[in-house]
Amino acid sequence: MPRNRILKESSLWPLARYQPDNLTAMAKIEDMHPRTLRQDGEALIELIRAAASQPREQWPQVLPDPLPIEASGILKRLRAVGQAEAAELGIAPELATRKKTLEALLRSGFPDGPYHLPDSLRGWRRERLGQKLLDALDGRQPVGPKETA
């Protein structure tokens, strides 16, 4: 079921920020649908209580800050390397590289390097793409499909 059918995304931040402990407080959150309060309000309050009682060491890892806008061109270059390799292999580009993996590679040394291949790039992807991606970060890798004679 799509998450917006359970709880609107615009309600998530206020729930986390204010952590209401009763239905009246929860009803004050903008975009909180009355049906959500009736059907899931008590369960949401219990989830908030359970999360608040967790010791800090059990909290999920903090998400990394987004990459700066300057990194978008480099990310496009890396994606193009993956697309070229996918074209050579005759597979869908999404099968060759994942955005999450490319971002992890970029984060490993942004902005000046050195860069390190992330653990998520393994197997045939690492063999076929690893050095090409590192070369693209150094400006040594041509981007685009290989020319054939």
Report the C-alpha gap between 29 and 13 in whole angstroms: 10
Same-domain check for residues 128 and 95 = yes
Report the C-alpha gap between 51 and 40 in whole angstroms: 16
Give the global pTM: 0.59
Same-domain check for residues 111 and 76 = yes
Contact between 97 and 129 (Cβ < 8 Å)? yes
**Domain presence at residue 37:** yes
Report the CATH number that the domain containing residue 96 is assigned in CATH.
Answer: 1.10.150.80
Position 54 pLDDT exceeds 70: yes
pLDDT in tens, 58-108: 988 888 888 899 899 999 999 999 999 999 999 999 899 999 999 999 999
- pLDDT of 148: 43
Same-domain check for residues 53 and 78 = no
Report the C-alpha gap between 72 and 67 in whole angstroms: 8
Q: What is the DSSP letter of 121?
A: S
Contact between 135 and 141 (Cβ < 8 Å)? yes
Same-domain check for residues 36 and 88 = no
pLDDT in tens, 9-47: 888 889 989 999 999 999 999 888 898 899 999 999 999
Nearest to 27 by CA among 12, 17, 36, 52: 36
Same-domain check for residues 44 and 92 = no
Domain of 48, in residue numbers: 9-57
**Domain presence at residue 114:** yes
Number of domains comprising the chain:
2
- pLDDT of 111: 87
Q: Which helix (H) or strand (E) holds 81?
A: helix 71-89
- pLDDT of 140: 62
**Domain presence at residue 65:** no
Same-domain check for residues 77 and 133 = yes
**Domain presence at residue 49:** yes
- pLDDT of 1: 63
**Domain presence at residue 130:** yes
